[in-house]
Amino acid sequence: MSGDLTLQQLHQWRATLEAKFAVDGDLTVKTNPRRTGYHEFEILVPGYGLPLQAKIVHREFYSRSGDRWHLARYTYHLAEYARGGKFGYHWHPLAGAHRGRGSIFHIICDRAGAGARRHFCAHQMGILEAHEALMQRVASDHPIDCAGLYRLDR
């Protein structure tokens, strides 16, 4: 959800996301009472006692300014178990050559058996857009592939 939210809107947004993600697999929702602006949704796909294909974990961190809350960073992440590999849309600070640049929109991609995951250029993604893209990856017949992504460390 874009824009600044009241606390009530933030809670409603969490409830909306919970209802949306519950249909895609076994859902676990985590919040932190000391960090009102944090929520995490872990979805085991397909769940419900069937063989596990993937785990999707969405984390959002909201910052408070006065009585309003705004999205400050996120990780929307897929770990495939059936074919291996990891893929995610992230927005947070990076270490190394990118230190001090603040939060950077990026993709992480680790093709099955390829070794260390890499960071790639990306644009901002909303949680629902990212969830749909990650669910499409799970449903496809293709393993995670990082081809065509532009590396950040070049």
Q: Give residue-wise pLDDT tens across range 27-84.
A: 999 998 888 899 999 999 998 888 999 999 999 999 999 999 999 999 999 999 988 8
**What counts of helices (H) and strands (E) characterise the chain?**
2, 7
Query: Using CA atoms, how far apart are residues 139 and 136, in angstroms rounded to an integer?
Result: 5
Q: How far apart are CA 103 and CA 84, in angstroms?
A: 28
CB 65 within 8 A of CB 121: no
Please give the full DSSP string across 45-93, using - where no structure is assigned.
ES-TTSPP-EEEEEEEEEEEETTEEEEEEEEEEEEESSS--EEEEEEEE
pLDDT of residue 90: 97
Condensed to tens digits (0 to 9), the pLDDT of residues 95-154 reads 765 666 789 999 999 987 666 668 999 999 999 999 999 999 999 978 898 888 999 875
